[in-house]
Structures are given as structure tokens and as C-alpha cells.
Amino acid sequence: MEKDSLLPHGLIFIRQVFPDIICSDQIDFTKTPIIGMNWFLKLVRIAGDKRRSEPWAELISWEPRAFVYHNFLSKTECEHLISRGKPQLARSKVFCHETRMNIESSKRTSSQGFVGSSNVVSDIEKRIADFTFIPVENGERLHVLHYEVGQKLEPHFDYSPCDYYNKTGGARAASVLMYLSDVEEGGETVFPSAKPINCSRKRKKRLELSVKPKMGDALVFWSIKPDGSRDPSSKHCGSAVIKGDKWLAIKFLRVNEYKVWNA
């Protein structure tokens, strides 16, 4: 492919994710953070350039807009997040729209714990902001999840237009899933109605998109379209762990600055 070079591939991706900052094949740097863009261009690689020793970005889907940052976290950072979150682990809960409370549910059977603040966490959050162009202030608290054999997460949307979200920073614009461990079998993040990057735009049938956990990789996907409406293709789930266990950290990014809920 003639356009398989670093800059054109990056422009193709950025045009899909940030259409408002692209004019023809030029980036309008007055509308996006220079540092973040520089970091982004360093990460973008063509699909065949799979360097395992340094970070590189792989665009995996147009709908939802999603990509994997390979080697986003170091082994030391993964271990730090697990050690910070492990003592706080408790049964995972889901948000109930009727009661505006988090409740236990068979839809999510993992355990989770908030990580808290540290220099390592701050550095990771800054990198997330640089790579997503979403300010640190828009992020919810970072938390760690642990899935044992048989545990899973059923299909759901991260986006929600309810009052709770409107009063705490708006809808979740994007989600960052950072895999802290390898999983021997199972545990994939699955988008049942995605349109993978290798799927023709003329193809009407949707294809299931699956991302296998790999220590240090980060999956970033948008729950909203460029016009701010919910992207139905962002519906996703976590397959049951079949062998081994699964650790990951999640950062939800809001449209506006995140604020703690006051009922």
C-alpha cells in the first residue's frame, strides 16, 4: 500500500478520531496539544511494523474508533498498579440507573479496587492525556480489576446520558483498558458489533472484534461519535477467563472535567 508510512497512517487514524483538527492531509496544530501529537506520531506504526521492545499504536477499528497501544505500560508499572489495587479488592458492582447506586450483579463477576495516587499513577495518567488529547481532569479514578477462572463481564455500554453522568462531567467519551497480565486462555475484550480496520467500508455485515490481554498493552476506544452521540458499536464485554487469571486497570474519560457525585 503506497500510504503505508508513519505520517500518512497517522493522519488516516487522526482524521477518523479527531475530524475537527484535520484539513486535507494537514494537521492543524493550533487545535490540538503539540506534546500530545508528537507523542502520538512517535507511537503510530503500520500494522506490519510490530516492534515488541518499544511502544507502538495499532488502529483496530473504525466503528467504534479503537486502537491498541502496545507496550504502553512497563512490567514495573503493571506490578505497581496491581500492588496498589490488590489490598482494596472487593466484589465489582454495576451502576443501577433506578437507584443511582452501585449494586452487585451477575453481569459483572470480577473484583475491583481503586488504586489511589502515586507518582507512577500520575505519570500514567499524564501519558493517557497526551495520547488521547483528553485532559487529566476529565478522568475518573483509576481502578484495578481482577478476573479469576469463570469470571466475566456481560455486554454493556460505558456511555450513559443519565443525570448521574451529566452532573459529574458528562458522558464517558472514551475508555482506556490497560492489561496488567497475560491470560493463558480466555479473558478477551470483545466488541460484537464492531467494524474492524480490515473490514471494507462497503461491507454491511458487522464482524466481532476481539482483543486478547497482553501485559503492558492498552486498549483505547471511544463510546461517542464525533457529533457527541452514543456509538452503538462501542458495546463490549469481557469473555470469561478459562485458564489463568486476568488483571487490568481502567480509566474512564469524561466529556468534561470529572466531579465527584453529590446526591
The 10s digit of each residue's pLDDT in 31-57 is: 444 444 444 544 544 344 555 568 888
Q: Please check the confidence at residue 28 and state whether its pLDDT lies above 50.
A: no
**In the chain, which residue ranges form alpha helices assigned H by DSSP?**
6-17, 34-43, 75-85, 119-132, 163-166
Q: Where are the domains of the chain?
A: 73-254
B/e letters for 167-178, b = 16+ CB within 10 Å, e = fewer, are ebbbbbbbbbbb
Comparing C-alpha atoms, which of 181, 187, 152, 178 is closest to residue 251?
178
3-state secondary structure of 66: strand
pLDDT digits (tens, 9 = 90+) for 93-142: 666 566 666 656 667 778 999 999 999 999 999 999 988 889 999 999 99
Task: At 64, give phi and psi (nearest 5°).
Answer: -75, 165
In this prediction the pTM is 0.78
**In the structure, what pLDDT confidence band is assigned to residue 85 with cuts at 50, 70 and 90?**
very high
Residue 196 clears pLDDT 70, i.e. is over it: yes
- Rounded to 10°, the helix 6-17/34-43 angle is 120
Find all residues with CB under 8 Å of 122, minimum gap 6, and list them.
Answer: none
Q: Alpha-carbon distance 11 to 216, whole Å?
A: 25
CA max distance for the chain: 55
Amino acid, res. 112: Q
CATH superfamily of 73-254: q2cbj1_9rhob like domain (2.60.120.620)
Angle at Cα 138 formed by Cα 134 and Cα 143, nearest 5°?
105
